[in-house]
Structure 1
């Protein structure tokens, strides 16, 4: 007797609610686990992004992104962009990759594909110049992608442990409620993930200025504590070189309207996303964590750029708190949006998944909301779509750290 889809879904939900350390994921050849099964059309140069977009329109089950990078980059800026490309393709949420290049760019498609091949997932290269132009390159890319999608559709989910998840954390469009509702609730979730053997990424170095001492005190050793201060100093120095003191300055206009007076005030609330566990390491932008537990990734505060960095670093799911509202999503990882107040949740319900404003209203505790978010992670990791995914909000941007030549 066959189990009906409805019966299967009921069993999945029952399992998630009774075994909150499990989810249904896709096992990859390198042993990692994805929560989605995308075929990525990865353009290595801005000149190829429109062709990549047209392939995704032709082939169901593919994703891509628009960007301005891939050429005239040198040094550490080149290395960081290359690392981000590879990280996006290597993310466990990706089944296979079609690397699409122009042919003469700095970031060669074959070089990116060579690194991705180390994951043992399907990877193929298409060059617009080598294939004689845009139309033939699109046709070839679509053929390859269609085959990959069909292969991917035959892969089934298997029961996996929460310890195999890397959760990214982010706050954007913050308000006066962020530091006392949604961010602490995400901090509680970070603790839960870590207690189950998983990893939580804290990012947005810009928005940790003024709270760095709190994180350094929790560092696992002096080397990690020193690195925490170093990345803060480097971030501040970049703004000082442009004649701006961001530590005591006001944040964005939306933050000001939301009731925040300075970046330092915002930082004290943003740091709450880190929970209470020891800080295991501080890693560079788009790098993969080498340790389990709480990890700080050095990223800017710009929502899209830091979201991209965490996903390129291997985050399968991202928690995004907001007090002003945002549609932000990712082409690769589901982004769970959490409101800091009930007003914005009701106003932007088409974009926001969960409401933490009940903490402000005294209806729920931080721990209770944290448990709700934790349960949502299990459901989303097992296939439930976030609102950003439903709306195809595929945002992407790389942190540029050098001049263009």
Structure 2
């Protein structure tokens, strides 16, 4: 069995990074978190716009994503920063993350007496947590424990011709070894959903997938807008994609050929091994954030046009099939699959190259997005602000 080096957490899960996460429960705590992070450079922060003026399922989504980010096994410890009067319950967030066995501290800005005192207290707490996780050993863990998200963004004609199907080959290799693949982007399978559903292990899973698409289409109809121009975007169209169906046919090849085990909600924890579909927006940052909150270890992200975005807690491997993009955005691209289009490499060979990159990144090699400090994070909203 193939092994990698990882961090074994107290709940039995493995991580491939050992981050201290500074987590604001509400937008009002963002600046305090950012200042703490600046003084604790080994930490990562996830500023966001939410946490107040939310009710019902919308509030629960924000809560679930924040907790999921803290529970992700790439996170070794968490510092929660609350304001004190938001709708998100910081004590509950703390309790749910602590259930994983990792150290969690919590400071409250109103309780501490303002921003300056909170920053000072936060720096002290962050340094204590960093000391606690610094000695965490890396040990041999099985590749079968890896959970990899597959995503595409800034697509062009090369995405469907080589980078996405090559990623699908890599996905098949990981799945064959007992690992897990998570594909999202409900908006990106429209017109090809029947092909994804055909892989479902049973009728219930097929119906769940169709319901995701139906619900999204209902929301577009309710708004009374034409999706074209937003998806495919103007950049997609300029890159040679003529319709959402053409884009979707390229998109779905990222997940490979394995049976679809289940359809999960946005940011829901991955229940078992195999191939799963997460109901999520196509928006790059929202989708990757949902995957991170669901527990993926890393994301393979194909892009023909070129996009630099990353994530605070999961490495994002950038893959392109466009030779021009690979050269023009060499700072951001990790893998160039354009050799497939030239006939110099087969899809199987390119997939093997991507799989080997997954193993290297899992073993600690930094992606371009990590090196450049791309730590984009966003929570998908489903309700109005009060």
Q: Separation in 1 of the partners of 2:10 and 2:265? A: 26
Contact 2:320–2:336 (8 Å) recurs in 1: yes
Q: Separation in 1 of the partners of 2:339 and 2:194? A: 30
- 1:210-249 aligned at under 5 Å gives the runs 210-246=191-227
Q: Separation in 1 of the partners of 2:182 and 2:113? A: 43
Going from structure 1 to structure 2, the CA distance change for 1:249 and 1:145 (only over 3 Å counts) comes to closer
Per-residue deviation, residues 208-257 of structure 1 (Å, max 9, x unmatched)? 00111001111001100000100010111111111134389861111011
Going from structure 1 to structure 2, the CA distance change for 1:102 and 1:192 (only over 3 Å counts) comes to same
Q: Pick from 270, 277, 290 the counterpart of residue 289 of structure 1.
A: 270
What is the CA-CA distance between 1:291 and the residue it aligns to?
Answer: 2.3
Secondary structure at 2:159 match in 1: coil
Residue 335 of structure 1 corresponds to: 316
Residue 173 of structure 1 corresponds to: 154
Secondary structure at 2:28 match in 1: helix
Contact 2:23–2:47 (8 Å) recurs in 1: no
What is the CA-CA distance between 1:94 and the residue it aligns to?
Answer: 0.2
What is the CA-CA distance between 1:343 and the residue it aligns to?
Answer: 1.1
Going from structure 1 to structure 2, the CA distance change for 1:283 and 1:247 (only over 3 Å counts) comes to farther
Q: Separation in 1 of the partners of 2:230 and 2:15? A: 40
Q: Separation in 1 of the partners of 2:185 and 2:210? A: 14
Q: Separation in 1 of the partners of 2:270 and 2:40? A: 33
What is the CA-CA distance between 1:163 and the residue it aligns to?
Answer: 0.9
- 1:31-46 aligned at under 5 Å gives the runs 31-46=12-27
Residue 321 of structure 1 corresponds to: 302
Q: Separation in 2 of the partners of 1:404 and 1:249? A: 23
Q: Pick from 352, 368, 373 the counterpart of residue 354 of structure 2.
A: 373
Q: Separation in 2 of the partners of 1:248 and 1:402? A: 23
Q: Does 1:101 align with 2:88?
A: no
What is the CA-CA distance between 1:361 and the residue it aligns to?
Answer: 1.3
Secondary structure at 1:239 match in 2: helix
What is the CA-CA distance between 1:180 and the residue it aligns to?
Answer: 1.3
Secondary structure at 1:130 match in 2: helix
Would you identify which runs of 4 or more consecutive aligned residues in structure 1 move more than 4 Å? 247-250
Q: Pick from 50, 53, 71 the counterpart of residue 69 of structure 1.
A: 50
Structure 1 vs Structure 2 CA RMSD: 1.2
Q: Separation in 2 of the partners of 1:24 and 1:387? A: 20
Unmatched 5+ stretches in structure 2: none
Per-residue deviation, residues 339-368 of structure 1 (Å, max 9, x unmatched)? 121110011000010111111111111111
Residue 293 of structure 2 corresponds to: 312
Residue 147 of structure 1 corresponds to: 128
Q: Pick from 68, 72, 92 the counterpart of residue 87 of structure 1.
A: 68
Q: Separation in 1 of the partners of 2:231 and 2:361? A: 36
Q: Does 1:188 align with 2:169?
A: yes
Q: Separation in 2 of the partners of 1:189 and 1:165? A: 13
Secondary structure at 1:301 match in 2: coil
Q: Separation in 2 of the partners of 1:162 and 1:247? A: 40
Unmatched 5+ stretches in structure 1: 1-18
Secondary structure at 2:140 match in 1: strand
Q: Separation in 2 of the partners of 1:287 and 1:346? A: 37
Q: Separation in 2 of the partners of 1:105 and 1:220? A: 42
TM-score, length-scaled by structure 2: 0.98
TM-score, length-scaled by structure 1: 0.94
Residue 110 of structure 2 corresponds to: 129
Q: Separation in 2 of the partners of 1:247 and 1:206? A: 12
Q: Does 1:403 align with 2:356?
A: no
Q: Separation in 1 of the partners of 2:353 and 2:37? A: 34
What is the CA-CA distance between 1:69 and the residue it aligns to?
Answer: 0.5
Secondary structure at 1:276 match in 2: coil
Q: Separation in 1 of the partners of 2:132 and 2:349? A: 41
Per-residue deviation, residues 156-181 of structure 1 (Å, max 9, x unmatched)? 21111111111001000000111110
